[in-house]
Structure 1
Amino acid sequence: MRVKRYVVDSMPDALQKIRTDLGKDAVILNTKEIRSGGFLGMFGKKKIEVIAAVDGTAAAGGTSPKPAAPKPAPAKAQPQAAAARAAPVAMLEHDQLEFPEVPDVLPPVQQSLKIREHAPVRKELPPESTAAASQAGVYTPPKPAPVKSREDLLFEELRQMREMMNKLALQNGGESNANLVPAIRQRLIDHEVDPALIDTWIDRAKVEAEELAEPFTESFASRSIRLQIADILKSNGRKSIAPETKIAHFVGPTGVGKTTTIAKLAAEQVLKHRRKVGFITSDTYRISAVEQLKTYANILNVPLEVVFSPQDLLKAFDALKDCDLIFMDTAGRNFRNEMYVSELNALLRSQGDSETFLVLSMTTKYKDMKAITGNFTKFKLDKVLFTKMDETDSFGAVVNLVHDFGLQLSYAANGQNVPDDISVVDEQAIIDLIMEELPDE
């Protein structure tokens, strides 16, 4: 038996070569799909491997070469196999052999699979015929895979290359988003933005880039993060003192500038909005605190009431009943002492519409800001006001606080001049300060 192996692009090519080399009596022993060429085992082109054979007598044109001695059958071989192996096998000359001698191990029924001239290798059979053929052990070669066009192959190779590059990127530098956008991440860390929040923003920016099929660059990440910060800082209500507000309470730790802030806002209400304003102060713990507010009251020509306990509030409200707006200055107490905070909450009882402003200094560490806000939020807090904006280069605490506690932004003070150095918070200005020197186009 003469056996030969072919590697071709399609079955028609294989049939043509088999007919040319082995003749029309050749038998296909096996077919399978393989890959050849490519780079490091990838991107190889699909081909079909075909093993064909022809009886030695047919290949020699009817002449009968010298038969070889029959090989003894193994002791445990099946009867059919023993009978088949007992038949003489024709041998070719050594220079004509392409493979070592192969015994006839195929069942006799497989001889019906000889290649016919002008006929396909495998003919489609009805389902019942296919099942019967399978039970009878007839060999049916599998259908050859459809040949892809050059364009399909090109797209497939590009897709595989992209997957490979993504894997390499993850292995070499994908352990941290910091390797992808170092300038943005470092800038946000310098502004003391919560690192977990930074990772969330960068991850979301990467997802947006993939959805839009755009390259994930620093410019793209910067635009995405700006929008995400704006979404956190967006105002759901009025930032300034509402026209219907009758009492505005100001609470916060010591040294944040509550009294000066009250003077600035009172001057704005008197000079700009022409409202009649009054002062109440309970800050009797700090030396000269009452005198400081009394000085501002004299300059603005507004009344001032001093209370020493919650019981004095009713008298103070009655004395200022003709005022359109009352500013209440509370004492700065140790925010870690819950008893002091509870005492302060007792002073926040008021008559009519009121708003409570938490006053925080931008020079305070965010860890302390978070603790302060956590204690005060046990009671009624409406808005947050930041002071000393001009004394810091770090503004990430504003974003952290709004994200963690959901407080409404109100005013930002950036100096000690009364009444000039205070304004309503501009979210876009905060974003520009945080994202300074980063590409946004």
Structure 2
Amino acid sequence: MKVKKYQASSMQEAMKKIRADLGKQAVILQSKTVYTGGFFGLFKKKAIEVVAGVDPNPRPEVKEKSRIVPMIEKTQPAVTPINNAEVLAKEVKELKKILEQYSRNNKISLEGVPEELKSPLVTLKEQEVSNDLIMELKQALLSKWKDSKGHVDQREALIWAKEWLLNKIKPLQEKTSQKKKYINIVGPTGVGKTTTLAKMAADSVLEKGKEIAFISTDTYRIAAINQLKTYADLLKVPMHVVYKAEDFTEAIKQLEDHDMIYIDTAGRNYRDERYVKELKSMISFEEEVESYLVMALTSKENDLKEIIDKFSLIPIEKFIFTKMDETKTHGTLLNLMCHFQKGVAFITNGQNVPDDLMEVDAETIVDIMFGENV
């Protein structure tokens, strides 16, 4: 295993050096900001220090055989001539109805709300926080405004709003998190489960000095196994691939001396409950197993609610949200927390391992909702 340290003025420059030296198969293990040079502690230059590695004996990729789907001839139904103007007029009328309905459902009345209280309400609306939560905050602000007899400015109103939200989500965030030995990562396809798992594991090894291991149940995608195997090799930790419940039990026995075991599961279309049932039959969800549901903040909120409902068959401890850097609005995060009464363990905001992984508390989520830097 070849591991080297690089220093550059920017991450882009560091990546060029790494690719030129180690090739495209290199994986970033750790990165941090450092300061170099200077004179008597002054005029130091900011730089990026990156630790990267590459497997000197990479395994060849296994390509899946393409399936040939026979074409089926269909008899085209006869097309009845239709007046295009009538069709267009009908579609416009239906579209107007949809827009009017959407406007009614999403309109929040600020009538009677003092000007000093409006800013935090508008901010949460822009973040696409649900109307129910915004109306709840509105009533809380009006109540405090009455108690203060109107002696309040915008800054104090923002403080009130933050206190209200903090008290609402703090009990969810204070639930036990990552205290168990077996950390199980589940979720739909394409949300970055394996990368997130690698970030969590790298933090446990590099920052906390834990003895960890990987178990993969994702036997559907060879690329996923190869990806996790690369991280296992770079971190110098064992990895087991399991195909059935007996394999999982055997792997647990062999890894009983390790501090933490990270379990990667297959990303499938979980609208079909049988996939969740397969997962439940594969893994023994005993007391030592803690499961996190990974979802992308770029997904539609209704789709995420359906995914969470499907995963209700297994005990989900907390949520992990990925791709925060790919969207400007983060209200979905808060909406799902409050709707399902579950906290958020981590948020990812990039691809770098392990840096772009935030372990969040209630205060951090409040700052995200009100547009504060985190």
Normalising by structure 1, what TM-score?
0.55
Q: How far, CA to CA, are the matches of 1:267 and 1:395 in structure 2?
A: 26
Match of 1:208 among 123, 132, 144: 144
CA 1:273–1:432 in structure 2 vs 1: closer, same or farther (change >3 Å)? closer
> Are 1:372 and 2:307 counterparts?
yes
Q: Which residue of 1 aligns with 2:178?
A: 241
Give the AA of the match of 1:233.
I
Q: Which residue of 1 aligns with 2:365?
A: 430
Give the AA of the match of 1:241.
Q
CA 1:179–1:416 in structure 2 vs 1: closer, same or farther (change >3 Å)? farther
Give the AA of the match of 1:223.
I
SS at match of 2:218: coil
Q: Is the 8 A contact 1:201 1:228 kept in 2?
A: yes
Q: Which residue of 2 aligns with 1:198?
A: 134
Q: How far, CA to CA, are the matches of 2:359 and 2:266 in structure 1?
A: 24
Q: How far, CA to CA, are the matches of 2:111 and 2:291 in structure 1?
A: 40
Q: Is the 8 A contact 2:121 2:137 kept in 1?
A: no
Match of 1:285 among 209, 213, 220: 220
CA 1:196–1:277 in structure 2 vs 1: closer, same or farther (change >3 Å)? same
Q: Is the 8 A contact 2:177 2:317 kept in 1?
A: no
Match of 1:177 among 110, 121, 140: 110
Give the AA of the match of 2:214.
F
Q: Which residue of 2 aligns with 1:275?
A: 210
> Are 1:421 and 2:349 counterparts?
no
SS at match of 2:320: strand
Q: How far, CA to CA, are the matches of 1:179 and 1:217 in structure 2?
A: 16
Shift, 1:233, TM fit: 2.2
Task: Show the 5 A alignment for 1:2-151.
Answer: none
Shift, 1:183, TM fit: 4.2
Q: How far, CA to CA, are the matches of 2:287 and 2:167 in structure 1?
A: 33
Q: Which residue of 2 aligns with 1:45?
A: none
Gaps of 5+ in 2: 1-107
Q: Which residue of 2 aligns with 1:93?
A: none
> Are 1:299 and 2:246 counterparts?
no
Give the AA of the match of 1:333.
R
Q: How far, CA to CA, are the matches of 1:256 and 1:239 in structure 2?
A: 24
Shift, 1:182, TM fit: 5.2
Shift, 1:368, TM fit: 1.7
Give the AA of the match of 1:266.
A
Q: How far, CA to CA, are the matches of 2:129 and 2:203 in structure 1?
A: 32
More displaced stretch, 285-294 vs 228-237: 228-237
Q: How far, CA to CA, are the matches of 1:397 and 1:416 in structure 2?
A: 21
* Root mean square deviation of aligned Cα: 2.3
CA 1:188–1:352 in structure 2 vs 1: closer, same or farther (change >3 Å)? closer
Q: Is the 8 A contact 1:383 1:409 kept in 2?
A: yes
Q: Which residue of 2 aligns with 1:228?
A: 164
Q: How far, CA to CA, are the matches of 1:351 and 1:303 in structure 2?
A: 22
Q: Deviations over 1:384-411 (max 9, x none)?
A: 1111222221111221111111112211
SS at match of 2:358: strand
Q: Which residue of 1 aligns with 2:265?
A: 330
Q: Deviations over 1:217-250 (max 9, x none)?
A: 65454332211211222145356522xx221101
Pairs aligned (count): 261
Q: How far, CA to CA, are the matches of 2:111 and 2:220 in structure 1?
A: 49
Q: Which residue of 2 aligns with 1:188?
A: 124
CA 1:433–1:301 in structure 2 vs 1: closer, same or farther (change >3 Å)? same
Q: Is the 8 A contact 1:385 1:411 kept in 2?
A: yes
Q: Which residue of 2 aligns with 1:394?
A: 329
Q: How far, CA to CA, are the matches of 2:287 and 2:119 in structure 1?
A: 50
Q: Deviations over 1:393-433 (max 9, x none)?
A: 11112211111111122112111111111121143333233
SS at match of 1:328: strand
Shift, 1:268, TM fit: 1.4
Shift, 1:185, TM fit: 3.4
SS at match of 1:349: coil
More displaced stretch, 213-222 vs 262-271: 213-222
Q: How far, CA to CA, are the matches of 1:270 and 1:420 in structure 2?
A: 13
CA 1:178–1:396 in structure 2 vs 1: closer, same or farther (change >3 Å)? farther
Task: Show the 5 A alignment for 1:151-170.
Answer: none
SS at match of 1:339: helix
CA 1:324–1:350 in structure 2 vs 1: closer, same or farther (change >3 Å)? farther
Q: Deviations over 1:93-138 (max 9, x none)?
A: xxxxxxxxxxxxxxxxxxxxxxxxxxxxxxxxxxxxxxxxxxxxxx
Q: How far, CA to CA, are the matches of 1:227 and 1:392 in structure 2?
A: 25
Give the AA of the match of 2:174.
G
Give the AA of the match of 1:406.
Q
Give the AA of the match of 2:178.
I
Give the AA of the match of 1:316.
A
Match of 2:345 among 402, 406, 410: 410
SS at match of 2:347: strand
Q: How far, CA to CA, are the matches of 1:178 and 1:346 in structure 2?
A: 54
Q: How far, CA to CA, are the matches of 1:221 and 1:177 in structure 2?
A: 15
Shift, 1:313, TM fit: 1.1
SS at match of 1:410: strand
